[in-house]
A and B are shown apart, each in its own frame.
Chain A
Amino acid sequence: MANLKELKNQINSVKGTQKTTKAMKLVSTAKLRRAEVALKNSRIYANKIEELISSIAAKVNSIKDTINNRAFHDIETKKVDIIFVTADKGLCGGFNHQTIKTVSKMIKDFKEQDIKIRLKGIGRKGIEFFKFNQFELADEKIGLSAAPNYEEASKFILSSYNDFMNGETDKVIIVHNGYVNKIAQKIKIDTVLPLDRTKVEVNDNDILDIEPKNDEELVLTQLVQKYVEFSQFFALLDSLAAEHSARMQAMDAATTNAGEKVKELTLSYNKARQEAVTTELIEIISGMEALK
């Protein structure tokens, strides 16, 4: 009889879990919709600024020697700045782990090439992992990946930007798990600085005229800084949408699994009950037989 009660408790507990996962799935679905809209709107800007910067970066080739801005130079990589973005919360399948794994692999690869690494993190899950594994984080921020904010994002990446411009680091990379569609996420490794000058093909007679004339440097610098700031912000938005889609999927799977578990448990419960009834009947019948 104890077995029956145990089973009953188990069924109720799994049903409770199922309710929770179902609720979480609904919440993620609603949040995903909002994150998607934000992402879609900013993607237009992201594409535009990327288009501008790569066309300028390509055109700058012709006047490269007169420009001091490090973002437009070829630099030998001695020290990289890696910024990773993960979620603050778990329960979203392999979402955080994929980013962590990619970053760990990058660290290993860079170490093999004798390149120094500086690690900065956004999002509790990644930060906790690397701290637990004795990696030193130069900067960390919790709460930003759950609620992306342009100002905070640009503040966070500003030190990376400055260090790159001062020559302290030679590369700035942002790693995050990005949104592909409602059921797929993809790791994105984005080298923000130095700029990629190979993306756009340029004719030699493409000239670049910059105004104000005496301040070409300033014009380029402003654009590069905007680009860097926005890349960080965009990574956050992309990561948030991906997080919600990953959680939605994970919770959907969990709800389905819980349903199956309930079915299974109910079957064993019914079997056990039937068994108990049969045993009782046999006992009664044999008792009566004995009395005859």
Chain B
Amino acid sequence: MKLEIVAPMGKIFEGEVSSVTLPGSDGEMGVLDGHSPLVTTLKAGVIDIKKDSGEELVAINWGYADISNDSVNIVVDEAIPLSASEGHDIADNVAKAKKLMADFAESSQAVAYAEGKIESVARNLI
């Protein structure tokens, strides 16, 4: 399944993924290959990307997802990616992602949940 995440400042993620978990405005939703076509808005939270080579996170403040059979297109306002390719500034991005959550998430539980995810993935990456 092809996933593409774009923000006004540029492309955040593009590539083949095996599954992706989105912070849908109605609650978290997982998307696998062959999902039925759907459009939905995303709220502040983390997009959890699972690839063959590992796991990546993207923290977003708002988003819009267009899901079709074999691809997922997401446009977001602000995004902080956490991935293995930029090892040296992970700590920096973790702090930024946490701040983004604190600024935009609607409840303290949501913030705590997102932070937990961010930290667990960041640990694996470092």
**Chain A residues with a Cβ under 8 A of chain B:** 41-42, 44-45, 48-49, 51-52, 55-56, 150, 206-212, 218-219, 222-223, 226, 230, 233
- The interface residues of chain A lying within 8 Å CB-to-CB of B9 are 41-42, 45
Which of B4, B73, B75: most chain A CB closer than 10 A? B75
| Chain B contact surface mostly | strand
B8:A48 contact, CB within 8 angstroms: no
- The interface residues of chain B lying within 8 Å CB-to-CB of A230 are 8
Given contacts A150-B8, A211-B39, 6 further A-B pairs with CB under 8 A are A41-B10, A45-B10, A52-B64, A206-B37, A209-B37, A219-B40
Given contacts A55-B66, A211-B26, A222-B64, contact A48 B6 (CB under 8 A): yes
Query: For chain B residues 17-67, which have a beta carbon within 8 Å of chain A?
Result: 24-26, 36-41, 64, 66
- The interface residues of chain B lying within 8 Å CB-to-CB of A208 are 37, 39
B37:A212 contact, CB within 8 angstroms: no
- The interface residues of chain B lying within 8 Å CB-to-CB of A222 are 41, 64
- The interface residues of chain A lying within 8 Å CB-to-CB of B4 are 48
A211:B38 contact, CB within 8 angstroms: yes
B39:A209 contact, CB within 8 angstroms: yes
A150-B7 Cα distance, complex, nearest whole Å: 12
A150-B61 Cα distance, complex, nearest whole Å: 15
- The interface residues of chain B lying within 8 Å CB-to-CB of A42 are 8-10
A45-B8 Cα distance, complex, nearest whole Å: 5
B75:A49 contact, CB within 8 angstroms: yes
A212:B40 contact, CB within 8 angstroms: yes
Given contacts A55-B66, A212-B26, A226-B75, contact A219 B39 (CB under 8 A): yes
- The interface residues of chain A lying within 8 Å CB-to-CB of B37 are 206-209
Closest CB-CB distance, B80 to chain A, in whole Å?
Answer: 16
B11 within 8 A of A: yes
B8:A56 contact, CB within 8 angstroms: no
A224-B36 Cα distance, complex, nearest whole Å: 23
A45:B6 contact, CB within 8 angstroms: yes
B39:A48 contact, CB within 8 angstroms: no
